[in-house]
Every structure is written in C-alpha cells, then in structure tokens.
Amino acid sequence: MTNELTVPRMGKTDCGEPPLLLWGSCMGEDRFDLVILGGGSAGFAAAIKASGLGAKTAMVESRTLGGTCVNVGCVPSKNLLSAGELLYYALNHGFKGVSLAQRSFDFNAVIEAKTRLVRGLRRRKYAKVLRALPNVVLLKGQARFKSNREVFVGERTLRGERFIVATGSSPRIVPFEGIGKVEYLTSDEALSLRKLPDSMLIIGGRALALEFAQMYAHFGTKVTLLQRSPRIIPDEEPEISGALRGYLEEEGIEIHTGVTVKSAAQRGQEKAVIALVKGRRREFSAEQLLMATGRKPNTEGLALEQAGVEMAESGAVKVNEEMRTTASNVWAAGDVIGEPMLETAAAKEGAVAAENALTGSHRKVDFLSIPRAIFTSPQVATVGYTDREANERGYRCACNTVPMSEVPKAEVIGDTHGLVKMVVETETERVLGVHLLAPDAGDLIMEGVYAVKYRLTVDDIIDTVHVFPTLAEAIKLAATSFRADITKLTCCAE
C-alpha cells in the first residue's frame, strides 16, 4: 500500500483488472449484502456494524480513507488549536508572580507534527480497523449508481441488495464577484500552510471560522473576520455569542457582523474584499483569504437519480428518521444528509443505517441528545433545545444563566471566562437544554447530555454529589439556581 491509502495497490488481483481492490477478497463475485459508498465516520460505523452482523460488505472510497474528521477536520484542527493555546496563554495568563517572557515558535515544525499525527491515527484507527473486519472489502474509485441494485466503480459493476450513501462533505464556497480569480484558502488548505501569514481575512462566523480565527491569532497572525449574520454563531444562545465575541476581540481578533460581501480581487500578494458592513461600503485586505463558509454534501457524480434517491434543496440526501432514503433499499448517513455535520452524529447514523438495512429493525437517532462543541478558548458546548427552540416547539420554559465567576474552580484556576445557561420545562422541571461557554466545555457537556437524554429534572442534578472543586459544578450550580440564590451559598451547599 502506498501513500497512506490515497491510491490503490497496483497489479492484478483475483477480482479482475487493476487498479481497484485495495484489500480483501471479492469472495467469488461482485455481489454483496451491503455496499457502502464512503470511507469516513459514517461509512466505518456502518462497516463495523455490518461485519458484526455477518454481512458480505463492500466499502467504496474515492478519496483518502478516514473522511473529513481525521484528515482535514477534528483531529488536525484541534491539534493546531492546542499548539496555539499553549503558545499564547503561556505568555498571557492570570497568575501573579509567574513570568514567561521568551517566545519560541517554529510554524513548520508544528504543521509537520500535525501531519504525523494525522497519518498515525489514519493508519491505526481506520486502515488497521478495516483490515481486521471479516467479510469487508475496500475498493478505490468513484461510485456511480446504475440502478437501485448496481453501482459502477470504474469499469466494474458492483451488485448490492442494500446500499448506504456516506460520501461526506466538502468545503462550501459562496459565489461572489471575483472569487474565481483569487487565491483563497478553504479549511482544508488552512491546515497545511507552510508559511505563517502576517494577516488573514476570514469569511464566516460559525464554528469553522471562529476556530481558525483564534488558531491563527494565537500563532501571531492579524485576523479579521467578516460574518453575514448580526452575530457570530447565530444558532447558539445570544448570551454565549455575545460573550465569546468579547473574548475574541480582547485577544485582538477584529470581528465585523452584518456583512454582505460584494466582491474579491487579487492585488499583488494580497487579497482584497469589498463588502457592505451594516450598509456602509468597506474594503478589507490581507495576505491570506480563508473561506470558512460551511460544508456541502458530496453528491456530485453519484447519479443518485438512477437509484430513485431524492435530494433536498440544500443538496443533502433526503432520509427519514430511520436513515432510509426515498429508494426502499438505499440508506444514507453522515454529512451527506446535512446538518448536524458532526463526526459523532455521522457514526451514530451509519451504525443505525446499517442495522436497519440488514436486520429490518426500525431504529431512530435521538438528535436532541447529540452534543456539539466549538473548540475556541473558552469552548462552546451545547445539547438539547435553546430557549428559542423550546418556545417554538410549544414548551413553557424557564431559563437561568450562571456566570463562570460563580464556579469556585474557575476562580481557583484564574479563568472565569464564560457562563452556563440551562433551559427547563416549567411544568415538569425537566432539563431541555444545557449551553456552556467555559474552559473544557466539550468535556463538561456530558452531564447535560445525560440530563437531556434521560429526561432528568433540576432536582436530579442537585441531588447528585459532584467533586469539589471542579468546573463540572457549573451545571449543578445552574440547576441549583432554580431553587436558591447561589450567590448566598457556600462552596459545596446543596
């Protein structure tokens, strides 16, 4: 195998003409119980489930094995974010009497270490895992439906009783005047720059845009962010959006909201963007331009119409609650079905799709209890309904917000940035949503996940003893705030 599975082994196999089969055996003919299109999180979860059920399975991947998360998503971005945090906060901390004045930073060495990490995880957690699955073969190539029972892969036809479409997503580029003539970056390229830019313009204001903005700002790049909506992360609670914007601006990131980008142009070594900012014409320029405007489902070239699979206006594959498409023997999972485009959601969807396809069960995915996180500093992590979403669904709600400055551990470690907001149904006092802006919020949110998933009440959380001092007490304090004035309680009072 060469080039980390991006190209197949060359030479003849027992399965026909090269270069198609990467490993496994075609088991006599190209007929399978299940054919999975895509080798990312959803595809792997489906393959593991199918193998456990004894199904003869083919996985078809046209790009790099492992999908977005390990290659150009969660793994490399969080690695670089951690490197930037170490660099920035070592010099910008809140501890009196501690001074670290020397700054040593080799951008290329950081990028090379990230690349080694990605290659290692891809090999251990994807390639080796797939090799160990009985009854699963991996083929390289672009799949294209011939009918709802057949797909072309190169010149070969694979016949399947059932199919799962799990082809993932790619960076979405918003078309505006001049963008085709500008050397811009997507989130893929921004993870592998070989030279640290002096300045960067970022178009977007959601998770991707904010993570890259803080990553490069911590490395020392002057970052300007242009967001179309009136606020950054507009789907999150407004208290979290406003507080995070303030923290990012304190670190020197220039943020503009209410922006309508009109055009872009290449001006020598710099990129220029003309925009209306709250109705006023402005021009911005920087060494690099990053288009962090979300991701689009990978459906191009699949000929889904040949299988009777319909797509939504967004370009996502339409599925029902059981991950079944409009074709009776085709399921879909992961980013290709649209939001939430999360690695964890994709894996859950892939496993559910495979089980439903192969056993005839009718499992559904509980999307309400799937958490999401933005790995800025402080982090954002949420689960369940926001205040607005709960009211739109007819719940009568009460919402309390507790600043992290009320959490003893936050004061102990000298980082009181953030807040926790809890959404509670008034009648039952059931927890409908937990929303965090805090250090390590992505780890802390799991208590909120259990609360939402298992329909816990505020008293269930209050009655549970927490370790002191920990940041996790933030969620208990939020629950306690529905019963008492927490500013008048001792550190461990129930």
Q: Which two tokens stand for residue 128?
A: 């080796």
Residue 268's φ and ψ, nearest 5 degrees, are: 70, -125
Residue 112 has phi, psi (to 5 degrees) of: -65, -40
Q: Is 413 exposed, middle or buried (0-12, 13-18, 19+ CB in 10 A)?
A: middle
pLDDT digits (tens, 9 = 90+) for 105-117: 899 999 999 999 9
Q: Pairing between strand 143-147 and 150-153?
A: antiparallel
Whether a cis peptide bond, with omega within 30° of 0, leads into 18 is no
Write down the CATH number for the domain with range 3-68+114-170+296-365: 3.50.50.60
DSSP-derived 3-state class of residue 275: strand
- The full set of domain ranges for the chain reads 3-68+114-170+296-365, 179-293, 369-485
Q: Which residue has the tokens 């027992």?
A: 14
- The number of residues making up the chain comes to 494
Count of other CB atoms within 10 angstroms of residue 283: 11
Q: Are 50 and 179 in contact (CB under 8 A)?
A: no
Whether the domain at 3-68+114-170+296-365 and the domain at 179-293 fall into the same CATH topology: yes
Superfamily for the 369-485 domain: FAD/NAD-linked reductase, C-terminal dimerisation domain (3.30.390.30)
Among 314, 317, 316, smallest CA distance to 326 is for: 317
Q: pLDDT value at position 13?
A: 36
Please say whether the beta carbons of 361 and 355 come within 8 A: yes
Strand pairing of 254-256 and 222-226? parallel
Low-confidence stretches of the chain (pLDDT < 70) are 1-29, 102, 493
- For the record, the structure tokens of 152 come out as 């072309």
Task: Select from 289, 17, 46 the least CA-distant residue to 155.
Answer: 17
Secondary structure (DSSP) of 115-176: HHHHHHHHIIIIIHHHHTSTTEEEEES-EEEEETTEEEETTEEEEEEEEEE---EEE-----
Six-digit token pair at 167? 């082809």
Q: How far apart are CA 269 and CA 195, in angstroms?
A: 13
Give the bridge partners for 311, in sequence order.
317
**pTM confidence score:** 0.93
Q: Both tokens of residue 98?
A: 């501690």
Specify the fold of 179-293: FAD/NAD(P)-binding domain (3.50.50)
Q: What separation in angstroms does the CA of 326 have from each of 296, 305, 322, 336?
A: 20, 10, 12, 14
Q: Which long-range contacts (CB under 8 A, 24 or more apart) does 29-32 make?
A: 30/58, 30/156, 30/157, 30/158, 30/159, 31/56, 31/159, 31/160, 32/56, 32/57, 32/58, 32/158, 32/159, 32/160, 32/161
> What 8-state DSSP symbol labels residue 363?
-
pLDDT at 128: 94
